Amino acid sequence: MKPMALLALVLACATSVLAEPRHPLDPLSTHEYWEVFDIMKASGKLGPASRYSAVSLQEPPKAEVLAWTAGKTFRREAKVVVRQEGRTFEGVVDVAGKRLTSWKERTGVKANLTFTELSDAGDLVQDDPEWQAAMRKRGIKDFETLECFGSPAGYFGTAEEQAHRLERITCDERRGDSTPWGRPVEGVVVVYDLDAKKVLRVIDTGAVPVPPAGSGDYDAEAIGPERDIPSPIRVEQPAGPGFRVDGHEVSWQNWRFHVRVEPRVGLVLSLVRVMDGGKARSVLYQGSLSEIFVPYMDPSEGWLHATYIDAGDYGNAEGLLKPLERGTDCPSGAVYLDALIADERARPEPRPRSACLFERESGDIAWRHTDGPDAVVSRPRRDLVVRSVAVLGNYDYVLDWVFLQDGSFKVVVGATGVVAVKGVAARTAADTPGGTGDPYGRYVAPHTVAINHDHFFSYRLDFDVDGTSNSFERDLFVKKRTPEGNLRRSLWAVESKIAHTERDGMVDVMEHSEALLRVVNPAVRGPLGYPVSYELRPGHGASMLLDADDWPRRRAGFADHMLWVTPERDDERYAAGDYVTMSQGGDGLPKWTSANRPIEKTDIVVWYTFGMHHAPRAEDWPIMPTLWHELEIRPYDFFARNPALDLPRPR
C-alpha cells in the first residue's frame, strides 16, 4: 500500500469513532445516544424537571466480552443517572431492545455535578443583595467584570449538608487580566442549593486586596520576546503512522488493544495483548483512571471545602473530555479520537480530539552492548503514546499510556495549568510578621499565595496475565548473614510472599522500595520454569498526611494505600464510589475490601495511586511547568528472552 493511502486509511478509521459499534466495548454512538433519549422519554419515568447527571456505556459482563468473537452479536446497554425533585435515580437502557430494563432510586447519595451547574455560577449569585454588598465592600461595582465558578462543596457532617445538594461559588476579578485565575476576590463564598436553586448563605470573612492586574497573565504581551531556538527539530513520518487504528482496535508492532474515551474517566484501554511468536498473549483486560483527589491545605472558611474528588465530581461535567491542540499537545502526524458526552437532557454533544495516538523517538536507547572498541551493537527506542488531557478547573492533567517495544508499558501523569491562589493583605513574604510568609502556601506574585495541596490519581488495572487466574506477589529483598568462615559477611536474597486476601494486597508508599511487586499467573510456566508475571515499578510517591478522622480523608479512602488488590467485580469501577458529590466517606475501596476477600489464583484488579505533595514555588506561576509521575509495568519471566532483540538497525 502506498504511504498516502495508508495514512488515509489510518485517519479514516480514527475519525469514524462515533460510528455504529463493532465491538462490545465500543463507546455509545450518536445514534445510540438518541435511542437512549427516546427510550427514556417514552418510559414514563421522567418529569418536566428531570435532568441527567450521566449517560454512559454499561459494559457487558467481562465473561461475555472474553467469549465474544468478531461477527457475533453483543449486548448494548446504557447506564443513566437522573436527578429529579432532589432524588437520584439509576436506570439501565437496553439500546438494541429499545426498553428500560432497570430503574431504581439511590437513597443516601447525591447525583454528581453537571457542567451547567458549575458553569452558570455567576448568573446564580449576582442578584443576591448580600453578595452584592460584599462585592461593593471590596470596591467592585461592575459585576460584569467578575468571573464566578461553582465548585464541589465537600462534606463535613453538618446539618446543612444533610438537607441540601450544595456547591460553593467564588469569583475572580477579570478587569485587566487575560486569565480568570490570577485575581481572586478573597473572603467571599456563596453556599448555593442546586436543587432549590437559591443562595443559602454568603460567607464574608473580611476584605483583602484583590491582587494587582497582570501578574497572572501569560499572553504574548505579558511574556515578552520569545527565546531564539536556532536549530528547530522536526519529526516527520513520510510513510504515515507506524500504527493502525481499525474502529477502536489499535495495532502497533507487537501490541494490540482496544481504546475508547469515556466522560468520567477519559481513556479506557481494554484487551491489551502482546504478540509473542505469532500468538497474542493477554496482559491487561482493562486499564483506566478511576479517581483523582486534590485536597487543599488552608483551614480558612473560604478554603476548607476545597477537597476535590475530581473524576466523580467533574467527570460527567466534561472535565476529562477536552480538545487537544494539534502540533503542541500532540505532535504532527498524531491521529485523534473524538468522543461524545450527554448534556443534562441526554442529548449527545461531540467532543472533538479528546485523545490522540502518536509514535515518538526521544533518543533513548532500547538496548546496547560493547564487546570491544569496534563491536558496538545498539538499537534506538520508539514508543507509542495514547494521550488525553483533563482540564479540571485551574489544573490541566496530561494522562498518557506509553507502550514500549520490549513488552513494557507505562501509566504517566503530568500536572500543569495554574496553581490555585488566594489574595492576601501582605505584598510578599517579607512583609509578613517575621518574614516567614503564609504557613499554608507560598507567595507566587504580589498579594498572591498559592495554597499547598495534594494530588492523588487512582488507576484501575484489571490484569489478565496469560489468563484470568492471577495472584499478587511481593518479592522481598532480605538481608542474609553468611555462614561462619565465608569470606563474604552479608548479602541479600529474595523471599516471595503471595497475597491470600485483600488485606495482604495493600501496599504503602514506603513498603515498595525493598520489594518487587508482581501480578503472577501460577498456572502458566515460562520456558525456564517460573510462573509468568508482570512487575509494577512505582516511581516517586507520596502518602496521605491527613488524619483518619478528617472528613476529606474519609471520603477519599482509596488514598490510604498506594496499592490495593481486589477480586474483579464488574460493578466495582470507581475507587471512591459511584457517587462522590457530598459523599460521607467509606465508599469504594475501603468498603469493598472490608470483607477481606480472597485474591489468590483468581481474577484480580490492582488499584494503583500516584501521590504528589505540592508545595508551590515562584516558578509555578503563572503557569506551572509540567510535573511528571509514572508507573512502569514490565514483563517478568513472561518472555523467553529480551523481546526487543529483533529491533532493526537504524537505516
At residue 18, the pLDDT reads 57
Three-class SS state of 147? strand
Q: What is the mean pLDDT of residues 162-181?
A: 90
Degrees (nearest 5) of the Cα angle 219, 220, 225? 145
- Which of 6-20, 157-171, 202-216 is least confident? 6-20
CB–CB of 17/68 below 8 Å? no
At residue 392, the pLDDT reads 92
Q: Is the pLDDT of residue 332 over 60?
A: yes
At residue 67, the pLDDT reads 98
The b-or-e profile of 540-574 (16+ CB within 10 A means b, else e) is: ebbbbebeeeebbbbbbbbbbbbbbbbbbeeebbb
| Catalytic entry in 310, 383, 396, 464 | 310
Cα 361 from Cα 526, distance rounded (Å): 31
Q: What is the mean pLDDT of residues 104-108?
A: 96
Q: Is the pLDDT of residue 647 over 50?
A: yes
pTM confidence score:
0.95
Q: What is the mean pLDDT of residues 57-62?
A: 98
| Catalytic entry in 285, 296, 308, 395 | 395
Q: Please say if 608 is a catalytic residue.
A: no
Q: Is the pLDDT of residue 325 over 60?
A: yes
Q: Is the pLDDT of residue 10 over 70?
A: no
Convert the pLDDT of each residue in 257-269 to its tens digit: 999 999 999 999 9
Nearest to 411 by CA among 386, 380, 389: 386
At residue 11, the pLDDT reads 47
At residue 17, the pLDDT reads 46
How far does Cα 211 stand from its chain's mean position? Answer: 32
Cα 51 from Cα 36, distance rounded (Å): 14
At residue 224, the pLDDT reads 84
Cα 69 from Cα 66, distance rounded (Å): 8
Residues whose CB is less than 8 angstroms from the CB of residue 339 and which lie 6 or more positions away in sequence, other chains included:
17, 27, 261, 262, 263, 321, 350, 351, 354, 355
Residue the block writes with cell 533513548: 364
- Which of 225-234, 423-432, 485-494, 521-530 is least confident? 225-234
Residues whose CB is less than 8 angstroms from the CB of residue 198 and which lie 6 or more positions away in sequence, other chains included:
192
Residues whose CB is less than 8 angstroms from the CB of residue 52 and which lie 6 or more positions away in sequence, other chains included:
80, 81, 82, 83, 114, 342, 343, 344, 345, 346
CB–CB of 451/421 below 8 Å? yes
Nearest to 134 by CA among 160, 169, 182: 169
Convert the pLDDT of each residue in 377-408 to its tens digit: 999 999 999 999 999 989 999 999 999 999 99
- How many Cβ atoms sit within 10 Å of the Cβ of residue 97? 12
Q: What is the mean pLDDT of residues 151-178?
A: 92
Q: Please say if 530 is a catalytic residue.
A: no
Nearest to 79 by CA among 63, 90, 64, 65: 90
Convert the pLDDT of each residue in 271-284 to its tens digit: 999 999 999 999 99
Q: Is the pLDDT of residue 1 over 50?
A: no
Convert the pLDDT of each residue in 133-143 to its tens digit: 999 999 999 99
Nearest to 176 by CA among 139, 209, 213: 213
Q: Please indicate whether residue 216 or residue 573 has the higher confidence score (pLDDT).
A: 573
Residues whose CB is less than 8 angstroms from the CB of residue 38 and which lie 6 or more positions away in sequence, other chains included:
98
The b-or-e profile of 307-325 (16+ CB within 10 A means b, else e) is: bbbbbbbbbbbbbbbbebe
- Helix H, strand E, coil C: the string for 583-636 is CCCCCCHHHHHCCCCECCCECEEEEEEEEEEECCCHHHCCCEEEEEEEEEEEEE
- Mean pLDDT across the chain, nearest whole number? 93
Q: Is the pLDDT of residue 16 over 50?
A: no
At residue 449, the pLDDT reads 98
At residue 118, the pLDDT reads 87
Q: Which amino acid is it at 299?
A: P
At residue 364, the pLDDT reads 95
Convert the pLDDT of each residue in 421-470 to its tens digit: 999 999 999 999 999 999 999 999 999 999 999 999 999 999 999 999 99
Q: Please indicate whether residue 353 or residue 177 has the higher confidence score (pLDDT).
A: 353
Q: What is the mean pLDDT of residues 357-367?
A: 94
CB–CB of 167/152 below 8 Å? yes
Nearest to 588 by CA among 151, 316, 293, 391: 293
pLDDT band at 6 (very low <50, low <70, confident <90, very high): very low
Task: Write out the three cell numbers for 335.
Answer: 491521529
Three-class SS state of 6? helix
Q: What is the mean pLDDT of residues 610-625?
A: 96
Cα 427 from Cα 550, distance rounded (Å): 32
Convert the pLDDT of each residue in 68-95 to its tens digit: 999 999 999 999 999 998 999 999 999 9
Phi, psi of 30 (to 5 degrees): -55, -45
Q: For the chain, how big is the Rg over CA atoms in Å?
A: 26
Cα 404 from Cα 272, distance rounded (Å): 13
Q: Is the pLDDT of residue 315 over 80?
A: no
- Helix H, strand E, coil C: the string for 197-261 is CEEEEEEECCCCCCCCCCCCCCCHHHHCCCCCCCCCCCCCCCCCCCEEEECCEEEECCEEEEEEE
At residue 4, the pLDDT reads 44
